[in-house]
Amino acid sequence: MSPDLPSDHPHHLGITVSMVPTERLTVCVREVEGREAGWPVVFVHGNVSSSPFFFRAMQALPDQYRPIAVDLRGFGGTDTAPVDATRGLRDFADDVRATLDALSLDRAHLVGWSMGGGVVMQVMLDAPSRVRSAVLINPVSPYGFGGTTGTDGALVAPDGAGSGGGTVNADFVAALSGEAVADENPSSVRSVLRAFYVAPGWDGADEEAYVASMLSTSVGPDNYPGDSAPSDHWPGVAPGRLGVLNTMAPTHLDLSGIADIDPKPPLLWIRGELDQIVSDTSMFDLAQLGALGAVPGYPGATVLPPQPMIAQTRSVLQAYVAGGGHAREAVIAGVGHSPHIERTDEFVALVAEHLDGVS
Q: What pLDDT, on the 0 to 100 scale, is given for residue 350?
A: 98
Q: Hey, where are the domains in the chain?
A: 10-356
Residues whose CB is less than 8 angstroms from the CB of residue 153 and which lie 6 or more positions away in sequence, other chains included: 141, 142, 143, 144, 250, 254, 256, 312
Specify the DSSP class assigned to residue 164: S
Rounded CA separation 185/172 (Å)? 10
Architecture of the domain made up of 10-356:
3-Layer(aba) Sandwich (3.40)
Average model confidence (pLDDT) across the chain: 95
Angle, in degrees to the nearest 10, between helices 115-126 and 90-102: 70
Of 247, 43, 238, 234, residue with least CA distance to 140? 247
Residue 7 has pLDDT above 70, yes or no: no
pLDDT value at residue 8: 41
Q: Give the Cα-Cα-Cα angle 126, 243, 150 (nearest 5 degrees).
A: 65
The predicted pLDDT at position 51 comes to 97
Q: What are the beta bridge partners of residue 154?
A: 149
pTM of the model: 0.96
Task: Determine the average pLDDT of the residues in 133-143.
Answer: 98
- Render pLDDT for 25-34 as a digit per residue (tens, 0 to 9): 999 999 999 9
Nearest by Cα to 37 from 62, 54, 12 = 62
Q: Extract the runs of DSSP E, i.e. beta strands, from 138-283.
A: 148-149, 154-155, 219-220, 224-225, 228-230, 237-239, 267-272
Pairwise CA distance, residues 10 & 2, whole Å: 19
- Give the DSSP letter of residue 256: G
pLDDT higher than 70, residue 50: yes
Dihedral (CA of 90, 69, 108, 354) sign: negative
State mean pLDDT over 264-271. Answer: 98
pLDDT tens-digit series, residues 213-239: 999 999 999 999 999 999 999 999 999
Give the mean pLDDT of 266-271. 98
For 82-92, the pLDDT digits (tens) are: 999 999 999 99
In this prediction, residue 4 has a pLDDT band, given cuts at 50, 70 and 90, of low
pLDDT tens, residue by residue, 308-351: 999 999 999 999 999 999 999 999 999 999 999 999 999 999 99
- Tell me how far apart the alpha carbons of residues 155 and 251 are, in angstroms, rounded to a whole number: 8
**Beta strand residue intervals within the chain, DSSP E:** 15-21, 26-32, 39-44, 65-70, 108-113, 131-137, 148-149, 154-155, 219-220, 224-225, 228-230, 237-239, 267-272, 327-332
Question: What is the predicted pLDDT for the residue at 3?
Answer: 41
